[in-house]
Amino acid sequence: MKKIFKIFKILLTVLLAAYSVIVIGFLFFSDKEDRYDFASHSQGSYLSQSMFEVLKFQNPQNDEIYFEQSVPFNKRGDYEKGFELLNKAVEYNPRVHLGYRGYMKLRFLRDFKGAIIDFDKLDKLTPNVIDTPWGEDIDFLRGEAYFGLGEYEKAIKHFDQSIENQGENWAEIQSYVYLGICETKLQNFDKAIVSYNRAINQSKYVCEAHLGLAKVYNEIGEIEKAKEHIIKAEEYFQYKRNDPYNEFLNEIYKSDILTLKSNLGV
């Protein structure tokens, strides 16, 4: 009995030691790619952050680790910590991360000037390349940043460039909507109508363009056309542009449609 107990004790010790070695081995010594993937997929957990800390200790100049570690902080509104990490990623690999930082400054911080500085720096670093920060055309994003600053002429220049970059039928449909809004702000109503119609020619479901057209037609006194488009804006409202993280600068709301509908007596 004593011998069995001793064997059991040794077996248990070996098992517990093996368990400890496996866990520590995974945390500190397993393949770096595997640990990076694990930490990325468990984004936001303390364990993920601890693994990134270990990886940074072992690879102090790996930009991807800093970038990935920054993401949950910025999503949760801890921009001091998130951008401290993101700035490191940019320092170690500006070509890869400047665009994303600009995108974050634009969409998460509404730091329009900071975003433009990052996009311009990236553009200079990559001559003859049309950059696509976080998957969006760089001139579309620059246009959005100038729009945020209220510099509509510069915004128009970049939205036009973005359409040229991507081609008329492949361009981001919201480029045309932004062009319409900018032209409206500048009182160029004819140009605004053309821009909104370019969006609708791509897809009739662009409710932002219908709302924009309804506003312009109302402004220039073509009330029947305004009514026609406000009804379409409401009909296609379910397709509006939105994002789970942030409000877009040109985001429309049901209240915008209902207010104009009421003013038009629809």
Report if residue 42 touches other proteins, rule: CB under 8 A.
yes
Q: Which of 216, 211, 176 is nearest to 197 (CA)?
A: 176
> Could you give the CA distance from residue 176 to residue 248 in angstroms, rounded to a whole number?
15
Number of residues that bind other proteins (CB under 8 A): 38
Residue 163 CA to its chain's centroid (Å):
19
Identify residues 105-144 at the interface with other proteins (CB under 8 A). 109-111, 114
CB 233 within 8 A of CB 211: yes
In the complex with other proteins, which residue's Cβ is closer, 33 or 46?
46
Among 72, 123, 223, 231, indicate the residue that binds other proteins (CB under 8 A).
72
Among 52, 83, 196, 217, indicate the residue that binds other proteins (CB under 8 A).
83
> Could you give the CA distance from residue 203 to residue 225 in angstroms, rounded to a whole number?
18
CB of 252 to other proteins, least distance (A): 9
In the complex with other proteins, which residue's Cβ is closer, 68 or 131?
68
In the complex with other proteins, which residue's Cβ is closer, 73 or 217?
73
**For other proteins, what does the binding mask look like between residues 4 and 23, x meaning CB under 8 A?**
--------xx--xx-xx--x
Among 25, 44, 60, 150, indicate the residue that binds other proteins (CB under 8 A).
44
In the complex with other proteins, which residue's Cβ is closer, 108 or 205?
108
Residue 200 CA to its chain's centroid (Å):
24
Please enumerate in sequence order all residues whose Cβ is within 8 A of that of 223, keeping only pairs 6 or more positions apart, or say none. Answer: 217, 264
> Could you give the CA distance from residue 58 to residue 70 in angstroms, rounded to a whole number?
18
Tokens of 52: 């990134």
CB 141 within 8 A of CB 175: no
> Could you give the CA distance from residue 185 to residue 180 in angstroms, rounded to a whole number?
9
Q: Which stretch binds other proteins (CB under 8 A): 31-39, 202-210, 223-231, 238-246?
A: 238-246
Residues of this chain that interact with other proteins (CB under 8 A) are 12-13, 16-17, 19-20, 23-24, 42, 44-47, 49-50, 72-73, 75-80, 83-84, 109-111, 114, 244-247, 251, 253-256
